[in-house]
Amino acid sequence: MYHTVIPENNKGVFTEYDNVDFVMTFEGRALNLNSVRIEGDLTVRQNGSILSSTVNENKDIKLDHLVGAHSFCESIQTSFFNGSNLIENLVEYPRWVKMKNACRKSRGDMNNGSNVCELLAPTNEMTNLMLKGITPPDNRNQADTADLTDPLPPDFSFKPMICLNNAQSNGQNVLPYAKSGAIRLTINLARVAGCIFGVDCDNNTSYEISNLQVSFSSVPETPDMMNNTVVMTTVQSVKPSVESGFANVGVKVPAECNSVSISFQEQNRENTAVNNNLNLTKVPNLTELQFLFNDSTNSLVSYLLRDYEEVISRGIESMFSNGRNMLNVNNLNANDGFVAGLYFDDFIDLRNQKFNVQITSGITGGDTSLLMYLYFHSIISI
């Protein structure tokens, strides 16, 4: 059975900073994990006019081509029993999507239908054309210009990278309602400067999302489903800063994790209108990157990486790459192709220890300071 859910706080049109709540109910049935999608229509305006208007048709306003419609979700919380049991709180969500797609997809993959419907594209420039909308065929009298049809706003349907869409193959791929109760999804919409960028992007740039809904599918609930374990991948994120040539970043994570993926951003470019807030910025003059933590036997483990190629290779591995990625030399030189990380080979309990990352680089503070985004991969069993 296919289900659609409109926002609990539906007000028709949503924009930056809005919180959107969806309550997914499916009594007597079991949710098909990996089937949840978020759908809607998107309108981007400059000075109050749509981008396809004559005054805006040459304006440089676009999305990150590896993030697309995901860009508008600053964070997503997933809760069971209608909000009483928080399962996942995924903050800095668009950057997580950017890193995952950069490590697991190629430029050619962006032309696949499963990516196009998410407003993904091979280049950033192509997203500018997408944001201008769709002009449908008009069968009326083309000589009468008053009859011409205005462009329709681009619609989107994306599969959020949350725990409900990350079921593990070693568990069952259905979640019975008796185990979860009503599922609440809370989406915090991003500020304009956090999701839209370009030369012409400024305080007069805005976006609106309408016809917003969540869709998913379900199957009849059976007694044997209650005896099976549901295993889902989840993510914990931390966001410290790096402000010196030798930095030791120590973080605690309330989970058992088997991998960490890391990206960076210039601190003075965070949420600025012209710049891409989701750039995978390169650490300048990186000479050493070291990971320090205790393994499952409580023995100290140290990984020392000394060049960009090795660091990026480990970053791709931390995302469980399928052999395709977009972290090439051209993107690295353009300051949008650097991901670090480490796969632990086992699940490590980080709840009672600090996970340390030591960075030796050319960072000198001020304009060279970087924000560091760490995403720890974990699992939950239900």
pLDDT in tens, 164-223: 999 986 667 999 999 999 999 999 999 999 999 999 999 999 999 999 999 999 999 999
| Cβ pair 358, 292 in contact under 8 A | yes
Q: What percent of the chain has pLDDT over 70?
A: 95
Residues in the chain: 382
What number is the average pLDDT over the span 58-82? Answer: 97
For residue 140, the model assigns a pLDDT of: 47
> Which range has the worst mean pLDDT, 52-61, 131-140, 173-182?
131-140
* Whether pLDDT at 141 is above 60: no
For residue 249, the model assigns a pLDDT of: 94
Q: What percent of the chain has pLDDT over 90?
A: 80
For residue 149, the model assigns a pLDDT of: 58
What number is the average pLDDT over the span 37-57? Answer: 94
For residue 168, the model assigns a pLDDT of: 81
* Whether pLDDT at 27 is above 70: yes
* Whether pLDDT at 240 is above 90: yes
* Whether pLDDT at 61 is above 90: yes
What number is the average pLDDT over the span 85-100? Answer: 96
Q: What is the mean pLDDT of the chain?
A: 92
> 């462009």: which residue's tokens?
151
For the chain, the three-class secondary structure string (H helix, E strand, C coil) is CEEEECCCCCCCEECCCCEEEEEECCCCEEEECCCCEEEEEEEEEECCEECCCCCCCCCCCECCCCCHHHHHEEEEEEEECCCCEEEEEEECHHHHHHHHHHHHCCCHHHHCHHHHCCCCCCCHHHHHHHHCCECCCCCCCCCCHHHCCCCECCEEEECCCCHHHCECCCCCCEEEHHHHCCEEEEEEECCHHHHCECCCCCCCEEEEEEEEEEEEEEEECCHHHHHCCCEEEEEEEECCEECCCEEEEEECCCCEEEEEEEEEEEHHHCCCCCCCCCCCCCCCCCCEEEEEEECCCCCEEEEEECCHHHHHHHHHHHCCCCCCCCCCHHHHHCCCCCCEEEEEEEEEECCCCCEEEEEECCCCCHHHCEEEEEEEEEEEEC
| Entry pTM | 0.93
What number is the average pLDDT over the span 32-45? Answer: 96
Question: What phi, psi does 70 have (nearest 5°)?
Answer: -60, -25
For residue 301, the model assigns a pLDDT of: 84
pLDDT digits (tens, 9 = 90+) for 264-288: 999 999 999 999 999 999 999 999 9
What number is the average pLDDT over the span 73-89? Answer: 95
pLDDT digits (tens, 9 = 90+) for 150-166: 788 999 999 999 999 99
For residue 146, the model assigns a pLDDT of: 47
For residue 139, the model assigns a pLDDT of: 47
* Whether pLDDT at 50 is above 80: yes
pLDDT digits (tens, 9 = 90+) for 284-326: 999 999 999 987 767 778 889 989 999 999 999 999 988 899 9
CA distance 27 to 294: 44
| Cβ pair 193, 337 in contact under 8 A | no
